Amino acid sequence: MEKKEKKPNFFVRAGKAIGRYFKEVVGEVKKLSWPTKKELINYSLAVLAFVALMAAIMWVLDLGFSTGITALAGIGK
């Protein structure tokens, strides 16, 4: 009768899997291309402009809704 090959225990398999994961992560990080300083500044300004625009839109909507609700509440008085 042939003897079955013994499978490594859970901790050995987990350790190898974790090691392989980090090795692959390092390999992927090496492939990254980072933005230049000029690109980073442009992207940051674009994000800030978008956030400012969205804040202004939310402020206008909030002002409009609060004015409308106040007007509706004043109808019954």
Longest CA span, the chain:
96
Lowest model confidence (mean pLDDT) among 33-37, 48-52, 54-58 = 33-37
5-30, pLDDT tens digit by residue? 777 788 888 889 999 999 999 999 99
Element at 63 (helix H, strand E)? helix 37-75
- CA–CA separation, 1 and 21 (whole Å): 38
Q: What percent of the chain has pLDDT over 90?
A: 70
